[in-house]
Amino acid sequence: MSMSCSACFALLVAGAAGKAAPSVSTARPFVAAAPPRAAPAPPAVGPRMPRVDERVTCPVPEEGIEHAVALMREGLLFRYTYPTGTESPVTTCENALAAYTGHKYAVAVNSGASALYLSLRAAGVEQGAKVLCNAFTFGAVPSAIVHAGCEVVYVESGADYCIDIDDLRDTLREHPDARALMLSHMRGRVGQMDAIREMCAEAGVTLLEDCAHSLGVRYDGVHTGHHGVACGVSAQSFKLLNSGEGGFVLTDDPEVAMRAAVLAGAYETNADKHKNLPEIEERFATLAVDLPNLSLRMSALTSSILIPQVATLDARIEAYSRRYDALVANVRASPAANAALLIPDDLPEVAPVHDELLFTIRTDALARAGGAGAVGAFQAACAARGLTMNLFGSKTNARNFVNWKFAPHARSGPLPRTADMIQRSFGVRLPLQWSDDDILAIGDVLDWCAAEVFGT
């Protein structure tokens, strides 16, 4: 008789506790279910989204599933279980990703935020140091800075969602004691990298890159993450690599790589298993006593499901780009959407990866519709047609700097440009599992709702 996975898991858990497994049908909810609410009537006319599961994530390739199952059968889950290290799937995964991005070294860890935190520590940014960061980013970025014991100083983000170069110049001047810039390529948007690198070098500030969401994006033909001393990549589910949780520190600096490996948890003879870090055997005796073991390693299981995904990155990027370009052309050719919504172009130096449509409602459209309240009305109109959009400046959004009380922006002074931009800016996911027509339907819904709310 076959049994569902969740039923198997329930039996295992109950067995471990020496009790009979509760059957699913007798399980009682902890709280009484709320009475069903009447669903809003669907609009009678106009477009609707054919699919509404915008949080659907990419499945793991069969090859990765088979690899993971084989590892589980053998119990070979710890990255250092393997005799010399070269047979470890974690090493294979590190080598594959480094070869893809062109970095000399990769250290696999348990999340993107861990990679950012480790990059600060591996680059020698001391506790108490001031670390600059663009204000439009995900809350995990200031969190990683706080985790490293540093003080966050925010820099304004511009209408193109990237760091505001003029404000970066001013902030560097106002904070001559700043030690590092954690530059977040938020949602894969990449700013003026040469100018940023120059400003940091002049100010003696260590440049680190948050490439959590910019894997595959190239600047002047080179992958992101090479302008700074090190960068962090994420393999959390809504990224191009999906292992649920996972991350990498990538760098061209051997000392930073060795420090990241030891900090992540290469203790005792395990350090010798980093054959991709040639000098680690000589340096280990010193590093092992200077640095704590923070146990942020990636497991072999995680890497086994990532290896085949690295191999298909460029094919998937190509698919994302083709569909994004068609959608943007659709929006720009639609009179109401084009008049109301601004989709900033990437810089000419950037070969982007767009797994999401970002746009900002134009101020003149808002004025036509009676002011800021029209942002919510537009979001509600789209939701009624099945289109879910993420308003970055909403009260509960983890990308709204106002919500980061743990790293208050008050110390950096007001951030009026970022505040204004995020209160009018949305992200719409473009899942690869959706068909081309599903993606194009987003443009139809945006146009219809723009006409409804902002007029033409």
| Residue 148 · residue 118 · CB < 8 Å | no
Task: Say if strands 341-342 and 230-234 run parallel, antiparallel, or are unpaired.
Answer: unpaired
Candidate residues 47, 89, 112, 142; the one interacting with ligand PLP per rule CB under 6 A: 112
In whole angstroms, how far apart are CA 100 and each of 103, 164, 217, 310? 8, 29, 12, 8
Q: Which amino acid is located at 194 in the chain?
A: D
247 in contact with ligand PLP (CB under 6 A): yes
Instruction: Closer to ligand PLP by CB, 91 or 111: give it.
Output: 111
| Residue 304 · residue 64 · CB < 8 Å | yes
Rounded distance between C-alpha atoms, residue 327 and residue 396, angstroms: 28
Candidate residues 119, 137, 192, 334; the one interacting with ligand PLP per rule CB under 6 A: 137
Residue 3-42 contact track with ligand PLP, rule CB under 6 A, x = bound: ----------------------------------------
Local structure of residue 163 (DSSP, 8 states) = B
Candidate residues 101, 119, 234, 243; the one interacting with ligand PLP per rule CB under 6 A: 234
| Residue 58 · residue 433 · CB < 8 Å | yes
Rounded distance between C-alpha atoms, residue 376 and residue 25, angstroms: 41
Q: Give me the least distance between CB of 232 and ligand PLP, in Å please.
A: 7
The interface region with ligand PLP, picked from 136-144, 190-198, 305-313, 417-425 by CB under 6 A, is 136-144
In whole angstroms, how far apart are CA 437 and each of 324, 352, 395, 433, 442? 12, 22, 33, 11, 9
Rounded distance between C-alpha atoms, residue 368 and residue 374, angstroms: 9
Residue 92-111 contact track with ligand PLP, rule CB under 6 A, x = bound: -------------------x
120 in contact with ligand PLP (CB under 6 A): no
447 in contact with ligand PLP (CB under 6 A): no
Task: Dig out the tokens for 359 from the structure.
Answer: 């746009």
184 in contact with ligand PLP (CB under 6 A): yes
Candidate residues 106, 140, 261, 450; the one interacting with ligand PLP per rule CB under 6 A: 140
Q: Give me the least distance between CB of 105 and ligand PLP, in Å please.
A: 19
Q: Give me the least distance between CB of 403 and ligand PLP, in Å please.
A: 15
Q: Give me the least distance between CB of 235 and ligand PLP, in Å please.
A: 7
Task: Dig out the tokens for 274 from the structure.
Answer: 């980093």
The contact set with ligand PLP (CB under 6 A) reads: 111-113, 137-138, 140-141, 184, 186, 210, 212-213, 234, 236, 247
